[in-house]
Amino acid sequence: MASPAKILRGTAANLSRLARLLREGEIVAVPTETVYGLAGDATSAAACRKIFAAKGRPSSDPLIVHIASIRELSRVAHPNAAALRLARAFWPGPLTMILPKTEVIPGAATANLPSVAVRMPSHPLFRRLIRLSGVPLAAPSANPFGYVSPTTAAHVLKSLGRKIRHILDGGPSRIGVESTIVDLRDPGHPVLLRPGAITRSQLSRALGTPVAAIRSRKSSRRAQVAPGQMARHYSPRTPVMLHARLSRSAVAGADPRDAWLFVSRPKGAALPNVFWLDAKGDLRRVSRRLFAALRELDEGGYRAIHVERPKGAGLAEAISDRLTRAASR
């Protein structure tokens, strides 16, 4: 059995070493502001295939390519005016855009489609690593395909520690859910493919035009234009039951073999199988805590995890999206 991966601090020496390994075609787990990613040279088909193999990810599910500056966008994609407007408004940050790709990006990274998913992350360590490596980095979430995304280096070690060699520790992810994805191949008709911390209303205001939404796909056999489109995704092994609202009285008489996860702290429900994402229900902290909570409860030996769906639009839409996919059977 392979030795477990090493967790490395973001020192100058470690970053220089990891950048060299990336240039040589190795893969490295990295921190981002959304979730931890599994990075490899996006211009190398061999490195991209290593990412797919480590995750057990179907080749029909494309990778997101990460760049360190807006100037690098034209290296990997053919941007239009709408893309440049969103880049100026939201980059660096949790926004991924679908655009026609350049020949620099191999089909192995894009499910052999002529488009590419690209974003500029805001995490300082990841940005520095991209610059030092000198290549754009493909980086899906650093977890087995379909499982709950990692938001700490320890999550990555537990899930992929025997399949990779190096994990760059950048602390807990600040946002906690994956990036917003918008399809801009037709700039006159932008489509939201995955909700995230940057909301559909923010995108619409920045573009000056409505942004449509698309439904999830059930099959992973055909190539999809962007990651995170499967109906079942981000799922713990323990079945997840999604509820519009959880009540204290319902939980009090429920089976103690089940876990109950509230958005905010319920009054008077001091039971060992009752949990909450944030005491006051602040959606930014709920988002940051969501995947870690699902992982902890998945390891708790419960028969099922009952989760309350957050109310509202904006970030609530992104959290609800992840929970809906986690609960899909």
Asked if 32 and 111 sit in the same domain, the reply is yes
Q: What is the predicted pLDDT for the residue at 2?
A: 75
Two tokens, residue 281: 């229900």
Asked if 171 and 286 sit in the same domain, the reply is no
Two tokens, residue 5: 């991966």
- β strands within the chain, DSSP E: 6-8, 28-30, 37-41, 64-66, 95-100, 115-119, 137-138, 166-168, 180-183, 191-194, 212-213, 240-243, 258-264, 274-278, 304-308
Does 49 map to a domain?
yes
Asked if 67 and 178 sit in the same domain, the reply is yes
Q: Are 92 and 120 in contact (CB under 8 A)?
A: yes
Total domains, the chain:
2
- β strands within 78-150, DSSP E: 95-100, 115-119, 137-138
Q: What is the predicted pLDDT for the residue at 214?
A: 76
Q: In DSSP terms, which residues pair with 37 in a beta bridge?
A: 30, 141
Q: What is the predicted pLDDT for the residue at 218?
A: 56
- List CB contacts of 300: < 8 A, sequence separation 6 or more: 259
Asked if 252 and 202 sit in the same domain, the reply is no
User: CB count, 10 Å around CB of 145?
Assistant: 16
Asked if 205 and 306 sit in the same domain, the reply is no
Q: What is the predicted pLDDT for the residue at 254?
A: 80
Asked if 190 and 249 sit in the same domain, the reply is no
Does 225 map to a domain?
no
Does 129 map to a domain?
yes
The span from the CA of 323 to the CA of 328, in Å, is 9
Asked if 17 and 101 sit in the same domain, the reply is yes
3-state secondary structure of 266: coil
Two tokens, residue 129: 């690593």
Task: Find the CATH number of the domain harbouring 62.
Answer: 3.90.870.10
The span from the CA of 33 to the CA of 85, in Å, is 21
Q: What is the predicted pLDDT for the residue at 252?
A: 78
3-state secondary structure of 320: helix
Asked if 259 and 206 sit in the same domain, the reply is no
Asked if 96 and 37 sit in the same domain, the reply is yes
Of 79, 55, 57, nearest to 67 by C-alpha is: 79
Asked if 63 and 147 sit in the same domain, the reply is yes
Q: Are 115 and 193 in contact (CB under 8 A)?
A: no
Asked if 264 and 155 sit in the same domain, the reply is no
Does 27 map to a domain?
yes
User: How open is the CA angle 151-286-270, to the nearest 5 degrees?
Assistant: 110
Which element (helix H / strand E) includes 45? Answer: helix 45-55
Q: What is the predicted pLDDT for the residue at 260?
A: 95
Asked if 250 and 156 sit in the same domain, the reply is no
Does 232 map to a domain?
no
Two tokens, residue 171: 């602390």
Determine the structural domain holding residue 256 and report its residue range: 240-327
Two tokens, residue 131: 């610059």
- Can you say whether residue 273 is alpha, beta or left, with left for phi > 0 and alpha for psi between -120 and 50 degrees? alpha
* Strand order through the sheet with 258-264: 240-243, 304-308, 258-264, 274-278
Does 226 map to a domain?
no
The span from the CA of 166 to the CA of 116, in Å, is 26
Q: What is the predicted pLDDT for the residue at 221?
A: 62
Does 230 map to a domain?
no
pLDDT profile of the chain (329 residues), mean per 10: 88 98 98 98 98 96 97 98 98 98 98 97 98 98 96 97 96 98 97 96 97 69 82 92 87 87 86 93 97 98 96 93 93
Q: Are 225 and 99 in contact (CB under 8 A)?
A: no
